[in-house]
Structure 1
Amino acid sequence: MISPDRQQRIAALRDSIADIERKPALAEARVLVQDEMQGFPLPGGGLLQEIFSDERRHAGAVLGFALAQARSLLNPRRPAIVYLQLANDAQELGLPYGPGLVSFGFDPDALVLVRAANMAELLWAAEEAVACKAVAAVVADIAGHHRQLDFTASRRLSLRAAGAGCSIFLLRYGTGREASAAHLRWRLTPQASARKRYDAMAPGPPRWRAQLEKGILLKQQTEWLLGWTENGFTTTDAGRRHAYRFATGATLPRAVPAQLGHRLPETG
């Protein structure tokens, strides 16, 4: 834990840098909790956030986490969210699905899809979208690692986001981490689903673990076990083990009758 004296020195240094650059302070002034839903703080606007998942097959969970935050930033003055993706990546990761967004509580009409030919065009589009006063957030879904997306590029995006009050979410994949100027960096990991209310043997609502690898949020907490409802995030004690975890951890050699499979792990 950072001592209060060190926090004050860091805050003073950030204020000095912001004054030199004639930019708003990028630290505590922007990393404020806008809302708190069942224990999970929703950061306010004007932030550059990186959201990592170890595998690309978890792209849906990463996108859902970003859109859940972006949805809270929508208002009558900023009614749009821009989704950026490289044209080639769409063949592998796919595109947001309208009916799925509706079930997620997100209006598809608020989402503007942009498919860029290369990373240079994607970064240019991100900066232009942030500058638009009708845009509440920009979500950039980036499947691979690109030389153009270096620390300098992330610094430009963080400054643009802070100055315009529009958040940027960079969706990334893999275990590697590059130097960046992101205010917050998350790692998402799928977890066993919650129990279904009227059918204990059926998969229930999806859940995932959100670990804050970089940045400071409410009460210095860095890990949450999140679920999703039509009203937003729900949280559970991240340290609690799943009540129905298979004790031996061994895989079953063949299909088993339903009654034998009762109370085995339910995955989302």
Structure 2
Amino acid sequence: MSAASEHSTSLAELRRRIADLEGRLPFKAQFGPAPATAANPQGPDSFLKDRPPDGRAQAEGFEAEPPGKGGSDDLAARCPLGLETLDRLFQSGNSLSGSGLKVGALHEVVSSESRNAGALSGFGLALLARLLAIRPGPVLVVQDIRATQESGQFHGAGLLDFGIDPARLIVVRARKLEDVLWCLEEGASCSALAAVAGEIQGGERLVDLTASRRISLRASRSTVPVILLRHGAAQEPTAAVTRWQISPAASKAPEFLEKAPHAGLGAPAWHIDLTRNREGRPGRLTVEWDHARQTFAAPAHSLALDRGSSLRPDPAPAAGQLHTLRPAG
């Protein structure tokens, strides 16, 4: 099978999967849409059973009230990141109720250098882990092949460390950027998805204000969050609600236990520069990922390399004092 045939087959399979999630036929010629009632819900039943109460109205065909009307924002509109300092950047008014990352919007995570691909991918997985904790359904991941050549492929054990079940991922690798954008738009329109994640390499002319606005509008209608990872990208104008500039930070040394296994690596840590935040204010801080609680946390203080010893003599006296040395012999 040629490369063109494989590419066509993968796109056809993606169309079929999205159509199956939306509860419709994957062809242009299809029957009229059935009414979305409680007796005939849209989408696969396995994803609707565990849907939280705030999403039940949409699953039964009723329009949910937009955020800010008829009550405060709830988990259907916000995703708390677990760290008060970070969630405070999205604070609305004088209270933290409803603070957190906006769901149903486009969020852009960028790095100025491609060598920071590990830090960028790790922070993107952390955001997905927080979203998957409150939203049912699978995640559509659309990757540009050039980005995977730089940042690598997914690893099952690493995903589990972040609290992400690999079985919930639908991974699509596209050779053309046009196909990446098309997949992101189609995924952002599917309300049965928990989230959509895209990964591209470098600053691309096609990822402009028009293309990002199309994705953002579809995400707002379906309430599906879209995370766009951009390796080695410049500060270009887009329609993203937030833009996160990510760079790696030094991790705390692991705690070595005498009679138990321990982690050989420290917790992932990042320097975050939230340069755009249309739902709050920008900010700059350093955070790390807590694997045990599956949430963002404040970085712990580094351990001293030399803790000293009680068997050693007292340290040298302060400078500026004159001491007489006893001659040898």
Instruction: Give the structure with the larger strand fraction.
Output: 1
* In 2: Cα distance, 1:173 partner to 1:210 partner: 15
| Contact in 2 for aligned 1:224/1:236 (Cα 8 Å) | no
How big is the shift at 1:69?
A: 1.9
* In 1: Cα distance, 2:125 partner to 2:135 partner: 18
1:95-244 map, 5 Å: 95-174=153-232, 176-198=234-256, 204-216=266-278, 220=281, 222-230=283-291, 231-236=293-298
**Residues 224 and 116 of structure 1: CA distance in aligned 2, closer, same or farther (over 3 Å):** same
* In 1: Cα distance, 2:211 partner to 2:245 partner: 21
Query: What code does the residue aligned with 1:204 have?
Result: G
How big is the shift at 1:241?
A: 8.6
How big is the shift at 1:103?
A: 1.8
How big is the shift at 1:108?
A: 0.5
Query: What code does the residue aligned with 1:38 have?
Result: L
The alignment's C-alpha RMSD in Å is 3.0
**2:80 aligned residue:** 35
Q: TM-score, normalised by structure 2?
A: 0.58
**Residues 121 and 56 of structure 1: CA distance in aligned 2, closer, same or farther (over 3 Å):** same
Task: Pick the structure with greater CA Rg.
Answer: 2
| Contact in 1 for aligned 2:253/2:302 (Cα 8 Å) | no
**Residue aligned with 1:159, SS:** helix
**Residues 53 and 243 of structure 1: CA distance in aligned 2, closer, same or farther (over 3 Å):** farther
Say which structure, 1 or 2, has more relative contact order (CA 8 Å, 6+ apart): 1
Q: More displaced, 89-98 or 71-80?
A: 71-80
Q: More displaced, 183-192 or 57-66?
A: 57-66
Q: More displaced, 72-81 or 125-134?
A: 72-81
| Contact in 2 for aligned 1:52/1:188 (Cα 8 Å) | yes
* In 1: Cα distance, 2:246 partner to 2:138 partner: 25
* In 1: Cα distance, 2:236 partner to 2:282 partner: 23
- Quick one: percent identity of the two aligned structures? 33
| Contact in 2 for aligned 1:183/1:215 (Cα 8 Å) | yes
* In 2: Cα distance, 1:116 partner to 1:104 partner: 25
**Residues 53 and 77 of structure 1: CA distance in aligned 2, closer, same or farther (over 3 Å):** closer
* In 2: Cα distance, 1:244 partner to 1:133 partner: 50
Consecutive unaligned residues of structure 2, counting only runs of 5 or more, are: 1-65, 88-99, 258-263, 306-329
How big is the shift at 1:203?
A: 5.0
**Residue aligned with 2:237, SS:** coil
Consecutive unaligned residues of structure 1, counting only runs of 5 or more, are: 1-23, 246-268
Q: Deviations over 1:14-49 (max 9, x none)?
A: xxxxxxxxxx79xx9899643251323241311111
* In 2: Cα distance, 1:224 partner to 1:175 partner: 21
